[in-house]
């Protein structure tokens, strides 16, 4: 550890210590100067039993203490209750660069920087006024020799005295050590950049000051960056190369930040930090708007575009950057990071190697998605879902043969939501299993009720949509068997609609499930057929009996004036092939009589669409049945 030359020698100034003290005594004649009296007694002995102990060689006299005060290497000063110096030792004089005699009557707070910080000042005054026993603080002082020193200032009353003792201990070494430790703790060893902890500390401090300080722009900006495909570098070339790459990236980022700060308005320091893994952040204090951040983000992308030459390897990387810029007031560190994280996700989602700006509208949409997703399951329990039914009509006789059950969410806040808003979310978070089971149960009950209400006629079958995850994550076969048994619905009156991809990808368990359902007598339909890459020959080997042609084919028919023969030919060929393979064909989205007629001529079996009916509530289906199940068209 270095030696600091703060402390002085008793005779360092060439003065007679006693002279100083006498001047103190003269100044403060009201109180006896018992703390510092006769400095000329040279004995070294234990402290005296009382203040006025004689200098008899057995106990330290006051003179001893006085001598110690002057000889001490620790800078000390005795103050009166107003904080004025009564006596200062040479070490103190040396610290502040003034003859200790000259310090008498000086304001101690000025000498030791106790006045600048209001909290320090208040605590110091508490001791002077006698309301507190001790005060200690750390200050940075300018030593008389020019260098800065870190000191610990302690102020405490002298027992039984109207005075206080102020001591100033040089803690520069300790402070430097702590600073070095803190540096290690707050920096990333690989890139030497500030780490996550320091980044958050700076971010919080910046937000705090920006909110109260009127001098800056009151804004803050953040580029949150993630390298694209960094994992592949680590996995294929090893962590050493990975680390070198991170370090090289860090250097380029730092250069970008420096040149942006040089170009930019004000003294805007940009903090570059490694937040972990291959994530970096560039924090712009006092930002001027989104343009500034966009420019910075683009310069980063440009800088990273040049390949990296690392240990004989030439590597190319790209990055995705989420950019957020906003007013500091009202912004929290967590809020800002969440926005940045979302925006980074968008940048990745939009194709990587780009920067994306935070978009409140897109975020609101995401929030809604999140809100919907998290409330799906409880909504099933609360009974917020309902089913509508849309007839499936025979194209040659116009009679409803069955109905498709379509789910709706009566959301207490957002109103009635169509399945396009929530089915995918339910599939993502698994709520589809419960929701799907509810739909199946409700639809089978309903179909059975219609059957019982119209005992004479041809009963309607019900067609229920089933998501892939229901086949994988639940015992669909047991559920269907249980529900059929419970409702008494004959299996032939139940049809399950699965999408092409669900069925085509099926092997093992899903295939066995389809087979078991089919063996039970339940019909399997392929929904939205033609949107995937189904292999008809393969399909014919699966237990599938119905193809539901996607609406886009029928839409392609156009009107009589603008026919699209290609679509019509494709449908014709598909229908012929399906029939050869023993499948029946239903066309979706039949909106006009003309389309219905063409589909009928082509040989399509059933149609579904607005021409016949929109999806309707169950009592409306009842009305259709009462009317002899003859629908429009
Ligand atoms: P989908 O199974 O293909 O259902 C047909 C969709 O086309 C329905 O939309 C229906 O309202 C709509 N549609 C019917 N006729 C016409 C028409 O003539 N023209 C046009 N443009 N559209 C027509 P919806 O009710 O919004 O359902 C959308 C999708 O949500 C369904 O497509 C289905 O994939 C899914 N879905 C609905 N209910 C359920 C359910 O209970 N479970 C699962 N897993 N998915 C469901
Ligand atoms: Mg369907
Ligand atoms: Mg469909």
* Segment 539-555, tens digit of pLDDT: 777 899 999 999 988 88
Those residues with Cβ within 8 angstroms of residue 10's Cβ, 6 or more apart along the chain or in another chain = 17, 67, 70, 71, 90
Nearest atom (ligand 1) to Cα of 464? 41
At 446-484, the pLDDT tens digits run: 999 999 998 888 899 999 999 988 988 889 999 999 999
What stretches of 264-332 show up as alpha helix (H) in DSSP? 290-305
Residue 334 pLDDT greater than 90, yes or no = yes
Mutation test residue for ligand 1: of 465, 495, 529, the one with most atoms within 8 Å of CB: 465
Kind and range of the H or E element at 261? helix 239-263
Domain range list for the chain: 3-176, 187-358, 371-626
Q: How confident is the model at residue 27 (pLDDT cuts 50, 70, 90)?
A: very low
- Residue of minimum CA distance from atom 10 in ligand 1: 615
Which two structure tokens, joined as six digits, stand for 607?
Answer: 């149609």
Find, among 58, 34, 38, the residue nearest to 48 by Cα: 58
CATH class of residue range 187-358: alpha beta
Distance 472 CA to ligand 3 centre (A): 21
Does the pLDDT value for residue 53 go beyond 50?
no
Ligand approaching nearest to the C-alpha of 550? 3
Q: Each residue of 234-261: pLDDT tens digit?
A: 888 899 999 999 999 999 999 999 988 8
Establish how many alpha carbons lie within 13 A of residue 363's alpha carbon, considering only the half-sphere containing its beta carbon: 16
What pLDDT, in 10s, does the model give residues 474-533? Answer: 899 999 999 999 999 999 999 999 987 777 666 666 788 999 999 999 999 999 888 766
Most confident of 174-178, 223-227, 556-560: 223-227
Q: Which residue has the higher pLDDT, 387 or 413?
A: 387
Helix (H) or strand (E) holding 619: helix 618-626
Q: How confident is the model at residue 627, as a pLDDT?
A: 65
**Confidence at residue 327, expressed as pLDDT on a 0 to 100 scale:** 93
Tell me if 89 sits within 8 A of 69, measured CB to CB.
Answer: yes
- Distance between CA atoms of 256 and 299, rounded to whole angstroms? 7
Task: Copy the structure tokens of residue 23.
Answer: 């001047």
Beta bridge pairs of residue 154: 136, 167
What is the band of 121 on the pLDDT scale with cuts at 50, 70, 90? very high
Helix (H) or strand (E) segment spanning residue 237: helix 230-237
Mention the CATH class of domain 371-626: alpha beta
Distance 342 CA to ligand 1 centre (A): 30
Mean pLDDT along residues 376-389: 97
What's the gap in Å between 240 CA and the centre of ligand 3? 52
Q: Which residues pair with 494 in a beta bridge?
A: 462
Q: Tell me, what's the pLDDT at 18?
A: 29
Of the given ranges (166-175, 279-288, 523-532), which has the lowest mean pLDDT?
Answer: 523-532
The answer to whether the CB of 299 is under 6 A from ligand 1 is: no
Residue 372 Cα to ligand 2 middle (Å): 22
Q: Is 423 close to ligand 1, i.e. is its CB under 6 Å away? A: yes
pLDDT band at 561 (very low <50, low <70, confident <90, very high): low
State the average pLDDT over residues 222-232.
94
Count Cβ neighbours within 10 Å for each residue of 391-400 and write b for 16 or more, e otherwise.
bbbebeebeb
Ligand 3 centroid from CA 477, angstroms: 22
Instruction: Give the number of the atom of ligand 1 that is nearest the alpha carbon of residue 407.
Output: 38
Half-sphere exposure of 409 (CA within 13 A, CB side): 26
CATH of 3-176, one of 3.90.228.20, 3.30.428.10, 3.30.1340.10, 3.30.450.20: 3.30.450.20
Burial state string for 305-330 with b = 16 or more CB within 10 A and e = fewer than 16: eeebebeeeebebebbbbbbbbebee
Q: How many residues does the chain have?
A: 633
Looking at every residue in the chain, the average pLDDT score rounds to 86
């Amino acid at each position: 550890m270095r030696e600091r030359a703060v402390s002085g020698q008793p005779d360092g100034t060439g003065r007679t210590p006693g002279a100083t003290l006498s001047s103190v005594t003269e100044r403060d004649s009201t109180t006896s100067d018992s703390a510092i009296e006769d400095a000329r007694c040279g004995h070294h002995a234990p402290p005296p039993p009382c203040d006025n102990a004689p200098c008899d060689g057995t106990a330290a006299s006051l003179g001893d203490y006085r001598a110690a005060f002057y000889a001490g290497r620790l800078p000390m000063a005795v103050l009166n209750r107003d904080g004025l110096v009564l006596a200062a030792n040479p070490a103190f004089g040396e610290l502040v660069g003034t003859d200790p005699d000259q310090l008498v009557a000086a304001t101690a707070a000025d000498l030791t920087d106790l006045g600048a910080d209001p909290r320090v000042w208040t605590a110091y005054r508490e001791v002077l006024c006698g309301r507190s026993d001790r005060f200690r603080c750390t200050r940075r002082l300018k030593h008389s020799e020019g260098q800065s020193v870190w000191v610990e200032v302690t102020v405490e009353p002298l027992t039984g005295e109207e005075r206080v003792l102020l001591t100033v201990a040089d803690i520069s070494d300790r402070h430097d050590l702590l600073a070095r430790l803190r540096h290690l703790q707050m920096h990333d060893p690989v890139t030497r950049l500030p780490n996550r902890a320091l980044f958050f500390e700076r971010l919080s401090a910046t937000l705090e000051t920006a909110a109260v300080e009127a001098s800056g722009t009151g804004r803050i900006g953040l580029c949150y960056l993630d390298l694209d495909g960094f994992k592949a570098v680590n996995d294929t070339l090893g962590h050493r190369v990975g680390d070198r790459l991170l370090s090289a990236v860090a250097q380029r980022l730092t250069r970008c930040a420096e040149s942006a700060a040089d170009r930019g308005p004000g003294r805007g320091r940009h903090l570059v930090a490694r937040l972990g893994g291959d994530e970096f952040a560039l924090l712009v204090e006092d930002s001027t708007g989104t343009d500034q951040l966009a420019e910075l983000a683009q310069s980063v992308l440009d800088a990273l575009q040049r390949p990296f030459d690392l240990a004989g390897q030439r590597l190319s990387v790209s990055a995705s950057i989420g950019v957020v810029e906003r007013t500091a007031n009202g912004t929290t560190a967590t809020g800002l990071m969440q926005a940045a994280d979302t925006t980074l996700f968008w940048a990745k989602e939009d194709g990587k190697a780009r920067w994306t700006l935070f978009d409140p509208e897109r975020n609101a949409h995401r929030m809604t998605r999140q809100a919907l997703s998290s409330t799906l399951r409880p909504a099933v329990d609360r009974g917020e879902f309902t089913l509508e039914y849309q007839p499936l009509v025979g194209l040659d006789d116009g009679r409803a043969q069955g109905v498709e059950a379509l789910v709706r969410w009566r959301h207490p806040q957002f109103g009635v939501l169509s399945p396009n808003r929530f089915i995918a979310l339910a599939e993502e978070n698994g709520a589809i299993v419960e929701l799907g089971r509810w739909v199946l149960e409700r639809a089978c009950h309903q179909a059975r009720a219609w059957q019982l209400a119209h005992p004479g006629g041809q009963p309607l079958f019900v067609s229920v949509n089933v998501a892939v995850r229901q086949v994988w994550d639940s015992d669909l076969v047991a559920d269907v068997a249980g529900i059929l048994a419970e409702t008494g619905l004959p299996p032939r009156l139940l049809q399950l609609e699965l999408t092409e991809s669900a069925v085509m990808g099926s092997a093992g368990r899903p295939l066995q499930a389809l087979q078991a359902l089919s063996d039970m007598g339940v019909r399997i339909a392929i929904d939205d057929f033609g949107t995937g890459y189904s292999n008809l020959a393969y399909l014919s080997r699966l237990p599938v009996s119905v193809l539901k042609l996607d609406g886009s084919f029928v839409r392609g028919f156009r009107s009589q004036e603008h026919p699209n023969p290609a679509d019509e030919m494709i449908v014709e060929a598909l229908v012929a092939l399906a029939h050869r393979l023993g499948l029946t064909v239903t066309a979706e989205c039949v909106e006009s009589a003309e389309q219905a007629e063409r589909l009928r001529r082509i040989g399509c079996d059933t149609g579904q669409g607005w021409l016949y009916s929109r999806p309707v509530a169950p009592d409306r289906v009842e009305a259709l049945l009462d009317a002899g199940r003859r629908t429009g068209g």
